[in-house]
A and B are shown apart, each in its own frame.
Chain A
């Protein structure tokens, strides 16, 4: 006799079934997803052949379902497989976005920039997808309400700006529910399941991106597992391929040893600095003074799920931001 699945899983499946059914109903009734039904072990093996979907090449990627608000009105522009194209390219990637804290928090800051969170764990991704879906529906609902009230009372211009202020001093719940219309209406963010260590160049072309975030990566403590770390000299070469010159790669970790690993693998560790050449040709570290003005950094330091957890535990946060330099000259 087959043993029934544990009670927890049963509840979880039931919950998610309801959630998917609910999204098909009208926008107002969509509820925020709850994280506890989407927990997943924090590690994934980046070397295994997961059942992954990835485009043949960046040109083949169908982004239209991810950013419906940005689909090019010109229906004649299509990918080789016949999918509609977008009016602009995705520019910001959050590698290992987890539950999407950073992606969601960045969305109103850069409302006209398309961002994508990439995550290898299916359940976590499923949560983020329902979260984005919920946020978009909520925005739609709020906009409709605002339109209805503004038709009665004048001064509709103020509604856009004032509520944004409100969100910052009112603690939001875990899914980021707001009562305000935010710039971009979360139409500029999306999430995809991907193994970026293998397939980043399938999604993004040469110099397509302006920012890459790698926040609190899996530390892979054992030396035997270091090969699985998402920062390495060989992967940094790949990040340099997709990032345009002048673009930024943000890293943050709460593991000091990993921070030094990052410095070492960008060859900026004063202890083991290589004489010349190597990956160092492609990256320069952005000085602290310059970072103070960067709103993205504040979001990364304080608004991602992991960083909140680290703050709660009074842990340390180590930040390193690198700017992509132009390709070096060919040696003579």
Chain B
């Protein structure tokens, strides 16, 4: 019997010669496809045979709770057996030559070279202090900006320079507590201070300072909150300047200058009433920002001014449920059947929903809601394929529509990991029709990797947790 396959968690499209590519992550691996045909070009890491995958799959759940922390392995070992279960973040550099991936459990940022024939080769792997929660590349494509759960954002060169020497702690300084007998006043604190001093003397010989990250990096900004998204955009008025927009769990959107002046905060966009999960600055309207999160609205901003232009409800006021914005994407098609102007649309996916909401940008800089797009499963990610006026949407083939915990009763054949839809303007609005491209069909027939036979509840939960984790950002309610 066929197995359920790992859905494509992240998708990225690469426009370049000779062929456009589609890069996707599913489970532990990254796949590269030729965009027009859907032919699979490479899988990374390659030498994960199905046997070792099975065992890795079995250990996935153990790694989930509690996740293994800070595993340090040599480069060879890493390739032999992936120590991660998912690849939650995937980005392609602006020139299309590199893929940046974050592997979940080992908190590593991996830079892969994307060769002309679509093959992938790992160039570097850098383990961060905390698991990266968002990642962006600067507009020039030379620097990675990465945000973590601790609220810090780091900048790292895309290609680490070889001559970087890690700043070593010059010499292990003798331990000296910050408190002195002048700063502690109670008897108990004084006693514990004395105890600390005694302990310090004992340990003095093997005092080992925590080693810093052994590669070039810089903390560029920080929030005292979990960072949920980060984007790096050029200034709408002066393309030589760039800005960094960061969003956090405490409803803030911060606008800072780009590196090396990221400590200059220019603006805040305040208005959300729950955590923010996604930011999107459309390339065709760089002065606008669309943001969404856990508060049932998406907001349109003039971000350089911190001014809210529009607040669009995602639900009817009658509905009492809470939704979370999973993704916001911009699409721009030069020529769409039945339209005079180019199509400029914002697509919004909600966590665990099989509908894709569609908004078009009107001439007065407002978003107009169009008919929603219905898919066969929950939307995970999407990419626009400009040359065909189409979008490729990766859908969850494992869970039932609009559910994040109920599995489909049986394996569908073929499992449509991807759906391609083409835009068409009709009298009653914008429609998205199934595209005749072979892309989706071909990818489905090749599949990804199987999830294994008969997963237990724990493994199922782990998979759902890795695909749908935004709900964890919600603050606990305090109604006592």
Q: Which residues of A contact B (CB under 8 A)?
A: 46-47, 49, 51, 56-57, 197-199, 201-202, 206, 219, 221, 227, 232-238, 240-241, 254-258, 277-279, 281-282, 309, 313-316, 327-328, 330-331
The answer to whether A254 touches B221, judged by C-beta atoms less than 8 angstroms apart, is: no
Assembled-state Cα–Cα distance A232/B271 (Å): 26
The answer to whether B263 touches A199, judged by C-beta atoms less than 8 angstroms apart, is: no
The answer to whether A281 touches B264, judged by C-beta atoms less than 8 angstroms apart, is: yes
Contacts of B264 in A (CB 8 A): 237, 240, 281-282, 327-328
Tell me, yes or no, whether B223 is within 8 Å of chain A by CB: yes
* Contact residues, B251-266 vs A (CB, 8 A): 252, 254, 256-257, 260-261, 263-265
Contacts of A47 in B (CB 8 A): 224
Question: Given contacts A240-B263, A277-B261, A282-B264, could you give 9 more A-B pairs where the C-beta distance is less than 8 Å?
Answer: A233-B219, A234-B152, A234-B221, A234-B224, A235-B224, A236-B263, A278-B263, A327-B264, A328-B264
Q: Which of B178, B260, B261, B478 interacts with A219 by CB under 8 Å?
A: B178
The answer to whether A49 touches B476, judged by C-beta atoms less than 8 angstroms apart, is: yes
Contacts of A235 in B (CB 8 A): 222, 224
Assembled-state Cα–Cα distance A309/B183 (Å): 10
Q: Which residues of B contact A (CB under 8 A)?
A: 150-152, 176-180, 182-183, 185, 219, 221-225, 241, 250, 252, 254, 256-257, 260-261, 263-265, 267-268, 270-271, 273, 475-476, 478
Q: Which of A234, A256, A257, A327 interacts with B223 by CB under 8 Å?
A: A234
The answer to whether A254 touches B183, judged by C-beta atoms less than 8 angstroms apart, is: yes
Count of inter-chain pairs, beta carbons less than 8 A: 93
Name the residue on A nearest B248 (C-beta).
Answer: A198
Assembled-state Cα–Cα distance A146/B203 (Å): 67
Name the residue on A nearest B189 (C-beta).
Answer: A221
Contacts of A237 in B (CB 8 A): 221-222, 256, 263-265
Q: Which of B178, B219, B267, B476 interacts with A234 by CB under 8 Å?
A: B219
Contacts of A219 in B (CB 8 A): 178-179, 183
The answer to whether B179 touches A221, judged by C-beta atoms less than 8 angstroms apart, is: yes
Contacts of B221 in A (CB 8 A): 234, 237
B390 → chain A closest CB, angstroms: 39
The answer to whether A199 touches B250, judged by C-beta atoms less than 8 angstroms apart, is: yes
A313 → chain B closest CB, angstroms: 6
Assembled-state Cα–Cα distance A236/B222 (Å): 10
The answer to whether A198 touches B225, judged by C-beta atoms less than 8 angstroms apart, is: yes
Task: Give 22 pairs: A residue, B residue, CB < 8 Å, sorted on A.
Answer: A49-B475, A51-B478, A56-B271, A57-B270, A57-B271, A199-B250, A201-B252, A201-B254, A206-B267, A219-B179, A221-B178, A227-B150, A234-B223, A234-B263, A235-B222, A240-B263, A240-B264, A278-B260, A278-B263, A281-B263, A313-B182, A327-B264
Assembled-state Cα–Cα distance A254/B182 (Å): 8
Contacts of B475 in A (CB 8 A): 49
B212 → chain A closest CB, angstroms: 13
The answer to whether A330 touches B265, judged by C-beta atoms less than 8 angstroms apart, is: no
Contacts of B267 in A (CB 8 A): 206
Quick one: given A237-B221, A327-B264, are A221 and B478 in contact (CB under 8 Å)?
no
Contacts of B263 in A (CB 8 A): 233-234, 236-237, 240, 278-279, 281-282
Assembled-state Cα–Cα distance A309/B186 (Å): 12
Assembled-state Cα–Cα distance A234/B180 (Å): 27
Contacts of B222 in A (CB 8 A): 232-235, 237
Contacts of A314 in B (CB 8 A): 182
The answer to whether A331 touches B224, judged by C-beta atoms less than 8 angstroms apart, is: no
B245 → chain A closest CB, angstroms: 14
The answer to whether B182 touches A331, judged by C-beta atoms less than 8 angstroms apart, is: no
Quick one: given A237-B264, A279-B263, A281-B261, are A198 and B224 in contact (CB under 8 Å)?
yes
Assembled-state Cα–Cα distance A241/B261 (Å): 13
A94 → chain B closest CB, angstroms: 19
Assembled-state Cα–Cα distance A240/B241 (Å): 21
Assembled-state Cα–Cα distance A206/B255 (Å): 12
Contacts of B273 in A (CB 8 A): 56
Q: Which of A221, A315, A331 interacts with B177 by CB under 8 Å?
A: A221
Assembled-state Cα–Cα distance A236/B183 (Å): 25
Contacts of A232 in B (CB 8 A): 222
Name the residue on B nearest A236 (C-beta).
Answer: B263
Contacts of A315 in B (CB 8 A): 182-183
The answer to whether B178 touches A258, judged by C-beta atoms less than 8 angstroms apart, is: yes
- 7 nearest CB pairs, A to B: A234-B222, A257-B178, A57-B270, A241-B265, A315-B182, A197-B224, A237-B263
The answer to whether B270 touches A56, judged by C-beta atoms less than 8 angstroms apart, is: yes
Assembled-state Cα–Cα distance A240/B268 (Å): 13
Quick one: given A51-B478, A221-B179, are A201 and B270 in contact (CB under 8 Å)?
yes
Contacts of A327 in B (CB 8 A): 264
Assembled-state Cα–Cα distance A82/B53 (Å): 61
Contacts of A328 in B (CB 8 A): 261, 264
Assembled-state Cα–Cα distance A51/B479 (Å): 10
Q: Which of B178, B225, B270, B476 interacts with A255 by CB under 8 Å?
A: B178
Quick one: given A234-B152, A237-B221, are A330 and B179 in contact (CB under 8 Å)?
no
Contacts of A282 in B (CB 8 A): 263-264
Contacts of B150 in A (CB 8 A): 227
Contacts of B223 in A (CB 8 A): 198, 234
Quick one: given A197-B224, A277-B260, A330-B241, are A238 and B265 in contact (CB under 8 Å)?
yes
Assembled-state Cα–Cα distance A49/B251 (Å): 12
The answer to whether A331 touches B478, judged by C-beta atoms less than 8 angstroms apart, is: no
Contacts of A198 in B (CB 8 A): 223-225, 250
B255 → chain A closest CB, angstroms: 10
Contacts of A330 in B (CB 8 A): 241, 257, 261
Q: Which of A233, A241, A256, A278 interacts with B180 by CB under 8 Å?
A: A256
Contacts of B178 in A (CB 8 A): 219, 221, 255-258
The answer to whether B270 touches A331, judged by C-beta atoms less than 8 angstroms apart, is: no
Assembled-state Cα–Cα distance A56/B274 (Å): 10
Assembled-state Cα–Cα distance A118/B120 (Å): 53
Assembled-state Cα–Cα distance A57/B270 (Å): 6
Assembled-state Cα–Cα distance A56/B219 (Å): 28
Contacts of B182 in A (CB 8 A): 254, 313-316
Contacts of A238 in B (CB 8 A): 265
Name the residue on B nearest A196 (C-beta).
Answer: B224
Name the residue on B nearest A226 (C-beta).
Answer: B178
Contacts of B152 in A (CB 8 A): 234
B57 → chain A closest CB, angstroms: 34
The answer to whether B261 touches A255, judged by C-beta atoms less than 8 angstroms apart, is: no
Contacts of A202 in B (CB 8 A): 270
The answer to whether A255 touches B179, judged by C-beta atoms less than 8 angstroms apart, is: yes
A62 → chain B closest CB, angstroms: 15
Assembled-state Cα–Cα distance A258/B183 (Å): 11
